Amino acid sequence: MHFIEVILPLSLPKTFTYSVSEAEYNYIKIGMRVAVPFGKSKIYTGLVLDLHQIPPTLYEAKEIHQILDEKPIINEFQIQHWQWIASYYMCNLGDVFRGAMPSAFILESETIISQKKDFNVNESDLSDDEFLIFEALQHQSSLKVQDISAILNKKNIFPIVQKLLNKNVLSLQEEMQDEYKPKLIRYIRLHEDYTSDESLISLLDSLNGAKQKELLLHYFQLNAQERKPISVKQLTEIAQSTSVTIKALIDKNIFEEYYIQEDRVNFDKNKTDNNLVLSEAQQKTFVEIKESFLSRDVSLLHGVTSSGKTEIYTKLIEEYIAQGEQVLYLLPEIALTTQLVSRLTAHFGNQVAVFHSKYSNNERVEVWNQVLENSEKAKIVIGARSSLFLPFSNLGLIIIDEEHEQTFKQQDPAPRYHARDAAIVLANLQKAKVLLGSATPSIETYFNAQSGKFGMISISERFGKAPLPEVELVDLKENYFKKRMKGHFSLTLIEAITEALSLGEQIILFQNRRGFSPVLECMTCGHIPQCTSCNVSLTYHKFKNQLRCHYCGYSIAKPTNCHACSSVDISAKGFGTEQIELELAELFPTKNIKRMDQDTTRGKYSFEKLIDSFKNREIDILVGTQMLAKGLDFDNVSLVGIMNADTMLYHPDFRAFERSFQMMTQVSGRAGRSDKRGKVIIQTYNVNHNVIQQVTHNDYVGMYNEQLYERQIYKYPPYFRLIKLTLKHKDFDKLKEGSMWLYQVMQQHLQLPVLGPEEPGINRIRNEYIRTIMVKIPQNVSIPNTKKTIQKILNSFDVIPQYRTIKVTANVDFY
Ligand code: ADP
Ligand code: ZN
Ligand code: ZN
pLDDT tens digit sequence for 597-614: 777 776 666 777 788 888
Starting from the CA of residue 570, give the closest ligand: 2
CATH homologous superfamily of 720-812: Ribosomal protein S10 (3.30.70.600)
Which of 671, 408, 663 has the alpha carbon at shortest distance from 511? 663
Q: CB of 466 closer than 6 A to ligand 1? A: no
Q: CB of 286 closer than 6 A to ligand 1? A: no
Q: CB of 314 closer than 6 A to ligand 1? A: no
336 compared with 310, residue with greater pLDDT:
310
Could you report the per-residue pLDDT of 737-755, keeping only the tens digit for each?
Answer: 999 999 999 999 998 999 9
Confidence of residue 802 (pLDDT cuts 50, 70, 90): very high
pLDDT higher than 60, residue 153: yes
Which pLDDT does position 39 carry in this prediction?
A: 87
Q: CB of 683 closer than 6 A to ligand 1? A: no
Q: Name the closest-CA residue to atom 9, ligand 1.
A: 308
C-alpha 203 to ligand 1 mean position (Å): 43
Starting from the CA of residue 346, give the closest ligand: 1
Q: CB of 311 closer than 6 A to ligand 1? A: yes
Locate the ligand 1 atom nearest the alpha carbon of residue 633 and give its number: 7
Q: Which long-range contacts (CB under 8 A, 24 or more apart) does 36-40 make?
A: 36/6, 36/8, 36/62, 36/64, 36/65, 37/62, 37/65, 38/8, 38/10
Could you report the per-residue pLDDT of 725-738, keeping only the tens digit for each?
Answer: 999 999 999 999 99
Q: Residues with Cβ within 5 Å of ion ligand 3? A: 531, 533-534, 549, 551-552, 554
| pLDDT, mean over the chain | 88
Could you report the per-residue pLDDT of 72-99, keeping only the tens digit for each?
Answer: 999 999 999 999 999 999 999 999 999 9
Cα distances from 28 to residues 1, 159, 391, 785, in angstroms, run 15, 16, 18, 36
Assign 130 to helix, strand or coil: helix
Q: Name the closest-CA residue to atom 23, ligand 1.
A: 278
User: Torsion angle of alpha carbons 618, 623, 629, 632, nearest 10°?
Assistant: 0
Q: CB of 360 closer than 6 A to ligand 1? A: no
Q: CB of 672 closer than 6 A to ligand 1? A: no
> Is 565 part of any known ligand binding site?
yes
Could you report the per-residue pLDDT of 563-606, keeping only the tens digit for each?
Answer: 888 988 888 776 778 888 889 999 999 999 998 877 777 666 67
Minimum mean pLDDT range among 59-63, 423-427, 669-673: 669-673
Q: CB of 362 closer than 6 A to ligand 1? A: no
Which pLDDT does position 267 carry in this prediction?
A: 43
Q: What is the mean pLDDT of residues 136-146?
A: 85
> Is 562 part of any known ligand binding site?
yes
**Start-end of H helices in 646-717:** 646-649, 656-668, 690-696, 700-713
Which pLDDT does position 602 carry in this prediction?
A: 67
Minimum mean pLDDT range among 28-42, 169-183, 252-266, 284-298: 169-183
Which pLDDT does position 777 carry in this prediction?
A: 96
**Start-end of H helices in 30-75:** none
Confidence of residue 260 (pLDDT cuts 50, 70, 90): low
Q: What is the mean pLDDT of residues 621-634?
A: 79
Could you report the per-residue pLDDT of 309-324, keeping only the tens digit for each?
Answer: 999 999 999 999 999 9
Work out the angle at residue 626's Cα, subtended by the Cα atoms of residues 387 and 521, and round it to the nearest 5 degrees. 130
Confidence of residue 786 (pLDDT cuts 50, 70, 90): very high
C-alpha 557 to ligand 2 mean position (Å): 17
Locate the ligand 1 atom nearest the alpha carbon of residue 307 and give its number: 3
C-alpha 332 to ligand 1 mean position (Å): 18
Cα distances from 364 to residues 75, 157, 266, 368, 670, in angstroms, run 17, 21, 17, 6, 32
Starting from the CA of residue 438, give the closest ligand: 1
C-alpha 402 to ligand 2 mean position (Å): 46
Q: What is the mean pLDDT of residues 405-417?
A: 94
Which of 264, 218, 220, 272 has the alpha carbon at shortest distance from 240? 218
Q: CB of 309 closer than 6 A to ligand 1? A: yes
C-alpha 520 to ligand 2 mean position (Å): 11
pLDDT higher than 60, residue 181: no
Which pLDDT does position 178 carry in this prediction?
A: 38
Confidence of residue 46 (pLDDT cuts 50, 70, 90): very high
Q: What is the mean pLDDT of residues 275-279?
A: 88
342 compared with 801, residue with greater pLDDT:
801
> Is 91 part of any known ligand binding site?
no
What does the alpha-carbon distance between residue 27 and residue 32 come to, in Å, rounded to a whole number?
A: 10
pLDDT higher than 60, residue 263: no
682 DSSP β-pair partners:
473, 642
What does the alpha-carbon distance between residue 567 and residue 554 come to, in Å, rounded to a whole number?
A: 23
Instruction: Show me where the domains of the chain are located.
Output: 2-105, 116-175, 192-253, 268-464, 470-516+575-709, 720-812
409 compared with 535, residue with greater pLDDT:
409
Q: Name the closest-CA residue to atom 5, ligand 1.
A: 308
Which pLDDT does position 633 carry in this prediction?
A: 75
Q: CB of 437 closer than 6 A to ligand 1? A: no
Which pLDDT does position 264 carry in this prediction?
A: 42
Q: What percent of the chain has pLDDT over 70?
A: 93
Q: CB of 633 closer than 6 A to ligand 1? A: yes
Q: What is the mean pLDDT of residues 697-722?
A: 95
Q: Name the closest-CA residue to atom 21, ligand 1.
A: 308
What does the alpha-carbon distance between residue 675 and residue 687 come to, in Å, rounded to a whole number?
A: 29
The size of the chain, in residues, is 815
pLDDT higher than 70, residue 183: no
Q: CB of 285 closer than 6 A to ligand 1? A: no
Q: CB of 260 closer than 6 A to ligand 1? A: no
Q: CB of 665 closer than 6 A to ligand 1? A: no
Q: Which of 306, 331, 347, 402 to mutate to test the pocket of ligand 1 (most atoms within 8 A of CB)?
A: 306
Starting from the CA of residue 399, give the closest ligand: 1
Residues 6+ positions from 9 with CB-CB distance below 8 Å: 44, 45, 46, 94, 97, 98, 101, 106, 108
Q: Name the closest-CA residue to atom 4, ligand 1.
A: 306
Q: CB of 440 closer than 6 A to ligand 1? A: no
At position 226, the amino acid (one-letter code) is E
pLDDT higher than 60, residue 179: no
C-alpha 643 to ligand 1 mean position (Å): 28
Do the Cβ atoms of 161 and 113 come closer than 8 Å?
Answer: yes
The interaxial angle of helices 243-251 and 210-226, nearest 10 deg, is: 90
What does the alpha-carbon distance between residue 474 and residue 681 come to, in Å, rounded to a whole number?
A: 7
Under CATH, to which class is 470-516+575-709 assigned? alpha beta
> Is 525 part of any known ligand binding site?
yes
At position 764, the amino acid (one-letter code) is R
Q: CB of 303 closer than 6 A to ligand 1? A: yes
Helix (H) or strand (E) holding 49: strand 42-52
What does the alpha-carbon distance between residue 535 and residue 555 come to, in Å, rounded to a whole number?
A: 14
Cα distances from 501 to residues 588, 613, 636, 638, in angstroms, run 10, 17, 11, 10
pLDDT higher than 50, residue 180: no
Instruction: Please name the fold of domain 2-105.
Output: GIY-YIG endonuclease (3.40.1440)
Which pLDDT does position 157 carry in this prediction?
A: 84
Q: What percent of the chain has pLDDT over 90?
A: 54
Starting from the CA of residue 635, give the closest ligand: 1
Q: CB of 307 closer than 6 A to ligand 1? A: yes
Which pLDDT does position 495 carry in this prediction?
A: 97
C-alpha 565 to ligand 2 mean position (Å): 4
Which pLDDT does position 467 carry in this prediction?
A: 87
Locate the ligand 1 atom nearest the alpha carbon of residue 464 and give its number: 12
Q: Which of 468, 633, 665, 668 to mutate to test the pocket of ligand 1 (most atoms within 8 A of CB)?
A: 633
**Cβ-based neighbour number of residue 178 at 10 Å:** 10
Q: CB of 668 closer than 6 A to ligand 1? A: no
In CATH, the number for domain 268-464 is 3.40.50.300
Same fold, 268-464 and 470-516+575-709: yes
Confidence of residue 535 (pLDDT cuts 50, 70, 90): confident
228 compared with 801, residue with greater pLDDT:
801
C-alpha 530 to ligand 3 mean position (Å): 8
Which pLDDT does position 252 carry in this prediction?
A: 84
Q: CB of 490 closer than 6 A to ligand 1? A: no
526 compared with 665, residue with greater pLDDT:
665
Do the Cβ atoms of 410 and 416 come closer than 8 Å?
Answer: yes
Confidence of residue 273 (pLDDT cuts 50, 70, 90): low
Starting from the CA of residue 278, give the closest ligand: 1
Pairing of strands 395-401, 326-330: parallel
Minimum mean pLDDT range among 112-116, 216-220, 336-340, 790-794: 336-340
Starting from the CA of residue 529, give the closest ligand: 2
Which pLDDT does position 88 carry in this prediction?
A: 97
Pairing of strands 546-548, 555-557: antiparallel
Q: Name the closest-CA residue to atom 22, ligand 1.
A: 278
pLDDT higher than 60, residue 468: yes
Which pLDDT does position 269 carry in this prediction?
A: 44
